[in-house]
Structure 1
Amino acid sequence: MDKGSLNFGHSGTLTQVQKKSLLRCLIDKVVIHRVARDTVRTRIIWKGGDTTNVDLPIPVGSLAELTNAQELETQVVSLSQQSIDDQVIAQQLTATGYRDRHYMQNSPAQYSQNYPA
């Protein structure tokens, strides 16, 4: 299936209910397998036999449970020691693919409050 053919979501021509109904007609099965504490591997089996595989991040209970928690902490400390503003640090980390445990754009100060000592 051409990925471009599923861009109906942004056109505004279909309601949310219609989009869900259309997907139910196209999808045969969805298989989800946890590959890490903060990631699930999702396999969509389309009617007709094609498959789509994607690893998706999921919320976790604490920053320490993120796969890249140590790297994230190191980056925050390093940038913080350079006297870079929390908002700028958060934007830089988000731009490079980091996320917080709840998918919100918290500031580094908020990370340290949530991080267990």
Structure 2
Amino acid sequence: MKQKVSQNLGYLTAKFIIVDVIGDILYWPIWWYSRGLKKLVLYIYHEIVYFESRIGLKMWLSNLFKPMYGQRDWQGRLISFFMRFVVLIYKTIRFILWIFLLFIIFFAWILIIPFCVYQLIFNFWYFIVP
């Protein structure tokens, strides 16, 4: 029985190794800085929007000058303002720290491949050059 070349096990194995495995290894850095970076930027954007809605920063800012518990006298307004102001400062610091952490992740994403290449060259240089 004759087999076609396209159904030969050796041919399919060689094709898998050459096209799929080596192709994926060569395509990986291109994906990392194109589609992968786009996915990361979208993730960071959605994470910032979600975190802002979770801590309610806009809501606290819009209600900064409204009295709490319906107390409309000047003491109630003063206490409400300072209480909300302290909470708003805390939430703003938390929000800024979260954005800072997300930007660290972004820059780590960009710099990880050049750093790994540098480390490979630096650490294996003594094996290459006698």
Structure with more contact order per residue of length (Cα contacts < 8 Å, sep ≥ 6): 2
**How high is the TM-score relative to the length of structure 1?**
0.25
Query: Normalising by the residue count of structure 2, what TM-score does the alignment of the two structures yield?
Result: 0.23
Greater strand share, structure number: 1
